Structure 1
């Protein structure tokens, strides 16, 4: 069963593709066992599959998407405002989404979220707990 989570953050004026590419470069630089596939993009979003291939462990793949602006982001921002208040969501125009399914790599996921929280001043969310500061 799949589980969706991520963070709302600040794009710093980057397009979805630019923001995703910076994130993917960071993740690859931090961990030699991480690689990324082709970047796909549409109106307001960019995505890639990340591959984690550690010695003596099964190869894992995880979907990562970055959206900047758009209707879905606005819906999530409204939920975040209700939960956390206007001040917490001010300036947020980016949404990181990742889908966890089956076996996942906790080190990769910690690095992914740490980047979003630090570099994008992110607010974490998940489909079960909603938003938390």
Structure 2
């Protein structure tokens, strides 16, 4: 069963493709067993399947998508408006989502989320709990 999570953040004026490239470069710099797949992009979004090939373990993949502006982000912003204050809501124009399905690498997923929370001032989201207000218990 697939589980989707991510973070609503601030692009800093970068495009979805630029943001995805920065994330992928960070993941590769942190972990030599990580390699990105082909990058697909559309209007306001860019995505890739990240492959994790650890010695002696089965290869696993994880889908990551970054959206900046546009309809996808608008949908998440509408949901976030219910739980985020004005300061937490201010400047949000990026949504990163990742899909966890089957066997995944929790270290890589933790790095993806840490990057989004730090570099994009992200606010955590998952399909079960919705948005998590910064500083509140999960």
Bin the TM-score by the shorter chain: over 0.9
1:84 offset after TM fit, Å?
A: 2.0
1:86 offset after TM fit, Å?
A: 2.3
Q: Please give the alpha-carbon distance, in whole angstroms, between the structure 2 residues aligned to 1:16 and 1:72.
A: 12
* Unpaired runs of at least 5, structure 1: none
User: What TM-score do the two structures reach when normalised by structure 1?
Assistant: 0.97
The answer on 1:119 being equivalent to 2:108 is no
Deviation readout 1:44-86 (Å, 9 max, x if unpaired): 0000010001111110001100000011211211211211222
- SS of residue paired to 1:84: coil
Q: Please give the alpha-carbon distance, in whole angstroms, between the structure 1 residues aligned to 2:93 and 2:61.
A: 27
**1:50, 1:61 within 8 Å by CA — same for their partners in 2?**
yes
User: What TM-score do the two structures reach when normalised by structure 2?
Assistant: 0.94
Deviation readout 1:11-58 (Å, 9 max, x if unpaired): 011111010001000000000000001111000000001000111111
Q: Which runs of 4+ in 1 moved over 4 A?
A: none
- SS of residue paired to 2:63: strand
Q: Please give the alpha-carbon distance, in whole angstroms, between the structure 2 residues aligned to 1:106 and 1:97.
A: 15
Deviation readout 1:63-112 (Å, 9 max, x if unpaired): 10000001121121121121122221110100001000011111001100
